[in-house]
A and B are shown apart, each in its own frame.
Chain A
Amino acid sequence: MIEVKDLHKSFGDAHILKGISTSFEKGKTNLIIGQSGSGKTVFLKCLLGLFEYEEGSISYDGKVFSKLSTDEKTELRSKIGMVFQGSALFDSMTIAENVMFPLRMFTKQSKSEMEDRVDFVLKRVNLDDAHHKMPSEASGGMQKRVAIARAIVNKPKYLFCDEPNSGLDPKTAIVIDNLIQEITDEYQITTVINSHDMNSVMEIGEKIVFLKDGLKAWEGSKETIFRTDNEVVTDFVYSSELFKKVRKMYIEENQ
């Protein structure tokens, strides 16, 4: 479980995060949503320790990140898997080498053990014949799946995904969403996804945190988001006619 208390972050005079408090539960897909510029990416980078924040605290299973020693931070980070928006695969390595990288860095496994684990996770993301391809030879959807494989190969406790569906066609986006949810459920990891894809919200949003102007404007789940009266949320989530109709139908069916 990840707990965030009163998080503040500024860049110069720009106050980006203005006191966010929330929690992300284990075994659930937690979504951070909001308009562009609402502070989602800054929030995610603070959670990952890539940005230092001025006030507040972030704790991973009760351990406050800022109070950890360098070695404890390294130990914690080895338990974090991250899927970047652009996949961030190492372009000088093959797909198998990319996936094996965290194992080479953080474990003392033999080469054959690492190869077995890589085979297993690549199979898990339906990429069992892509070992020797370079990232540049893979499609966007394949790159995202490799990034997921790399993120889960070392059995992480926490999985972070920054816009995992961006640039993907709707069908592939659903495949990626389902894959993330299955992995979260299967390995009981705490998954935090940064997204503005409303399909993801409806499909896998077991917990949703809505950010607006650096503040938490709403939180709930994919079930409660249909019923909320919070105008800020409904304006954003149901901005298209299609989603307005979906919402209406959901409410009618569940009355």
Chain B
Amino acid sequence: MSYLHNIGAYFLMIKNVFRKPTKWSVMKPLILKDIDDLIIGSLGIVAFIAFFVGGVVAIQTSLNISNPLIPKYLVGFATRQSIILEFAPTFISIIMAGKVGSFITSSIGTMRVTEQIDALEVMGINAINYLVFPKFVALTLYPFVISIAMFLGILGGLAACVYGGYGTLENYIEGVQNDFIPFHMVYAFIKTMVFAFILATIPSFYGYFMKGGALEVGKASTTSFVWTSVVIILLNFLLTSLLLG
């Protein structure tokens, strides 16, 4: 029953995100701050992980090709496909559920514990719109993060392949360009936008509706990470079945 209650409360929260909007002059700096915290602040870790995981994918692919009939450009091809279709949109989103999601849950949860949300409500402000809408808008820039992850992942593969002696630059680039299907990019960015919405709203839900003190803020952050990841994985399966199946 509590799951059903939470699902209902989550959708009611979504409705309230777009109701009774906060004044634009107040909202604008909140959006800019959230862009800085959630998007710009994540670029470093995303770039680092994407570059090295791209490298690992290239090395693993190269090491597992022993058949001389398989073309050498397959390393570049497999790296591109893995990075664009799954690693960048899905696994970066799970990493972001840990980084950004925990930040959102703990910052909103702390506001709940310290009565800052009560203070907003007493003033007659739609606290859900005030707190969640800027995060939602900030995360519409999430595809920008994923684009960088895609580029750096493929670049990391190239660096590992060429400088590690697993293949030539020409073969890798040929593989990256070979049999490119533009719809795969559309598919990846549709997933990215859906995951951005999940990243903005599920952690906000767990922060906003948490009860208790400092310990519960930590617990809410963990629960939020778990459920954000679960929903991302399930939606990944669903969207892949619908769009590519």
Whether B25 is near chain A, meaning CB under 8 Å from some CB there, is yes
A88→B124 contact, CB < 8 A:
no
Chain A residues 44 to 86 lying within 8 A of chain B, measured CB to CB, are 48-50, 70, 73-78, 80, 82, 84-86
B119 touches A88 (CB 8 A): yes
Say yes or no: B123 contacts A50, CB within 8 Å. no
Task: Pick the contact of A88: B20, B22, B26, B114 (CB < 8 A).
Answer: B114
Q: For chain B residues 120-140, which have a beta carbon within 8 Å of chain A? A: 121-125
What are the residues of chain A within 8 A of B110 when measuring CB–CB? 91
B23 and A50 within 8 A (CB):
no
Task: Place the interface of chain B in its size category.
Answer: 10 to 19
B170 at the interface (CB under 8 A from A): no
- Are A104 and B23 in contact, CB atoms less than 8 angstroms apart? yes
Q: Is A242 an interface residue (CB 8 A)?
A: no
Do A88 and B25 touch across chains, with their CB atoms under 8 A apart?
A: no
Closest chain A residue to B113, Cβ basis: A86
**Complex CA–CA separation, A56 to B110 (angstroms):** 33
A52 to chain B, nearest CB (A): 12
A77-B123, A80-B123 are known contacts. Are A104 and B118 too (CB-CB below 8 A)? Answer: no
**Known contacts A48-B122, A50-B122: A88-B116 contact under CB 8 Å:** yes
In contact, A102 and B123 (Cβ under 8 angstroms):
yes
Using CB atoms, name the residue of chain B closest to A85: B115
Within 8 A of A (CB), among B71-93: none
- Roughly how many angstroms separate A85 CA and B22 CA in the complex, as a whole number? 26
Interface residue A187 (Cβ < 8 Å from any Cβ of B): no
Cβ of A236 under 8 Å from chain B: no
What residue in chain B is nearest A102 (Cβ atoms)?
B123
A250 CB-CB contact with B under 8 Å: no
Render A139-171 as a binary contact track against B, CB cut-off 8 A, 1 for contact: 000000000000000000000100000000000
Residues A104 and B122 in contact, CB atoms below 8 Å apart: no
CB pair B23–A84 under 8 Å, yes or no, is: no
Q: Is there contact, CB below 8 Å, between B116 and A104?
A: no
CA distance A158 to B20 in the complex (A): 24
Q: How far is the CB of A30 from chain B (nearest CB, A)?
A: 17
Interchain CA distance A73-B20 in the complex, whole Å: 13
The answer for the CA separation of A76 and B121 in the assembled complex, in Å, is 12
Residues of B within 8 A of A (CB): 20, 22-23, 25-26, 33, 110, 114-116, 118-119, 121-125
> Which 8 A-B pairs have CB atoms at the shortest separation, nearest pair first?
A77-B124, A88-B115, A74-B124, A88-B119, A82-B122, A84-B115, A88-B116, A48-B122
